[in-house]
């Protein structure tokens, strides 16, 4: 009975939703860093900030900015990272 009570409290759908969102965020973060790496060495602080972000809207904006940036300095200036 105790195991069943614990299982009822465990929201499988919510866990799956969170997992998918985290996967999407990680994928976008990796895409951003890949684009930036084509511009040169990506500073550790930018790498860390991008990889730690779970905000999908921010990551979408950063991805667009990275795609258009002519340099890492330009990316930093436009994103504030």
8 confidence band (pLDDT: 50, 70, 90): low
pLDDT digits (tens, 9 = 90+) for 10-56: 566 666 666 676 778 899 999 999 999 999 999 999 999 999 999 99
The set of residues, in sequence order, having a beta carbon less than 8 Å from that of 78 and lying 6+ positions away, is 65, 69
**Residue 55 to residue 68: CA distance in whole angstroms:** 20
Query: How far is residue 8's CA from residue 5's CA, in Å, rounded to a whole number?
Result: 5
pTM: 0.76
What is the per-residue pLDDT for 1?
Answer: 46
Of the candidate ranges 5-9, 22-26, 49-53, 63-67, the one whose mean pLDDT is the lowest: 5-9
The token pair at 50 is 């991008």
pLDDT for the residue 24: 84
Q: Rounded CA gap, 13 and 19, in Å? A: 10
Question: What's the average model confidence in pLDDT over 61-69?
Answer: 96
Which has the closest alpha carbon to 66: 52, 79, 80, 51?
Answer: 79
């Amino acid at each position: 009975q105790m195991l069943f009570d614990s299982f009822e409290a465990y929201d499988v759908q919510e866990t799956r939703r969170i997992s998918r969102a985290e996967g999407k965020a990680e994928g976008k973060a990796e895409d951003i860093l890949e684009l930036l790496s084509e511009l040169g060495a990506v500073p550790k602080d930018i790498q860390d900030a991008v990889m730690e972000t779970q905000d999908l809207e921010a990551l979408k904006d950063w991805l667009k900015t990275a795609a258009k940036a002519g340099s890492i300095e330009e990316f930093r200036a436009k994103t504030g990272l």
